[in-house]
Structure 1
């Protein structure tokens, strides 16, 4: 069931036809879905709940004409340097890093304008889907700020450092097709909500422990390069041989051929 409908965000846990549990985190907070203190607090609580009891896949999406018009600038008014640092540290520690650490695939669906914090959160997800109508921007330059929830560095990872600097320094809006060409958006769909639900359900029915291992290997590469990823791969992958999913899938492959296995996430 969804959480409190009056909240800026809600989480609904669903089950696929094959029994895979997934969660849908939806933003619905006024006309512009602005990230004010209430929005951040609600999102922090939802991410904490997902971390405490992870499903087998997560979908992040929004209701309304826009995904988000960005951050409510009132949040920044009068902050000292120390308070600004503490704000970003809190958002990294309670939203960005926990999202990336969830032991399951995380999908982001962008159906329209996606600015600042919403875009940075998208970049913390595993797969980003967008509508052809979606536009993206890190426009913090309008208030003399740089994106500080991990956007520049995650853009650089996906699109290269030159593209990241261009997008951030110009403060321009970029359409979904451009960001797809750059490798920032994974796919563009006319009905992005339907595509996102379909993909999330497919991932929720998959080998969850293997997906988590993939995330750990990629994260090792992100933090320490190929040598570090190589160093942890044997242990991370080796552990999969004791999972029910791998054992069952190997037996299924040998008995009836590929593509017939079912997974429980164990």
Structure 2
């Protein structure tokens, strides 16, 4: 049986693709595949990661049979394991992009919220609809949505269980960019490739500073900034980019080495 998730590489860009037709449901096989592939990425981080899906929908969410089969005595450990996937994805040092061309529900939306950037077709729809089974998002989606859009919006989306268009979520600051559906996958690949070709050490530093801010506010980010900046000054990428800027101007084409 083929895996519902496959990891490929396009030069410096890693591409993680959900491909479990017709609905890319999160069942045990899908979660196991996510756990394995994110572990691989953590052990050997790429320069950037693009997450996408094949098929009519990105994901119709969690297979409801999972809820029926979950032993209440094991529920805490089960959901702790799934949350660890979200946390590991979020902790990757490289830029991560989640591309949603259509419907993106529950677990898939929660994983999208763990990524640095979410891009979507304007007509794509997102939802945390766990209320339909008297549940709450348990892969970290609620709190990560609150980070992006504020607690009132997070409560609204989760408590109503409504589906929201990507264009609305872009207004809320949840979706970063909207692309035309006709050439969506090509545009997204180019978008992610630009990140992969960029200064990966500086990208990792940016992620570290933003995380410090989210964990402890401006003062926490300020506390790590001088050391982070000093580390960047010592990198080959920084020195090469400065030299190229001085000789060729701001449109210089530097090949970054990641060191």
- Indicate whether the TM-score tops 0.5: yes
User: What residue is the counterpart of 1:65 in the other structure?
Assistant: 56
User: What residue is the counterpart of 2:7 in the other structure?
Assistant: 11
User: What residue is the counterpart of 2:14 in the other structure?
Assistant: 23
User: What residue is the counterpart of 1:88 in the other structure?
Assistant: 79
**How far 1:78 moved relative to its partner?**
5.0
**How far 1:242 moved relative to its partner?**
1.3
Moved segments of 4+, more than 3 Å: 78-82
Partners of 2:53 and 2:205 in 1: CA distance: 28
User: What residue is the counterpart of 2:87 in the other structure?
Assistant: 97
Taking a change above 3 Å as real, the CA distance of residues 128 and 248 of structure 1, as seen in their structure-2 partners, is same
Calculate the TM-score normalised by the size of structure 1. 0.93
**How far 1:80 moved relative to its partner?**
4.6
1:109-128 alignment, distance < 5 Å: 109-128=99-118
* RMSD between superposed Cα atoms in Å: 1.2
Partners of 1:208 and 1:69 in 2: CA distance: 33
Partners of 1:71 and 1:183 in 2: CA distance: 25
1:51 lines up with 2:42 in the alignment: yes
**How far 1:238 moved relative to its partner?**
1.3
User: What residue is the counterpart of 1:265 in the other structure?
Assistant: 258
CA deviations 1:63-114 (Å, max 9, x no partner) are 0000000001111225355422212211122x11111111110000000100
SS across alignment from 2:98: strand
Partners of 2:28 and 2:72 in 1: CA distance: 18
Partners of 1:136 and 1:6 in 2: CA distance: 27
User: What residue is the counterpart of 1:209 in the other structure?
Assistant: 201
Determine if contact 2:123/2:167 at 8 Å carries over to the other structure. Answer: no
User: What residue is the counterpart of 2:125 in the other structure?
Assistant: 135
SS across alignment from 1:11: strand
User: What residue is the counterpart of 2:153 in the other structure?
Assistant: 163
SS across alignment from 1:35: coil
Unaligned 5+ segments in structure 1 are 16-20
Unaligned 5+ segments in structure 2 are none
Pairing partner for 2:166 from 163, 169, 176: 176
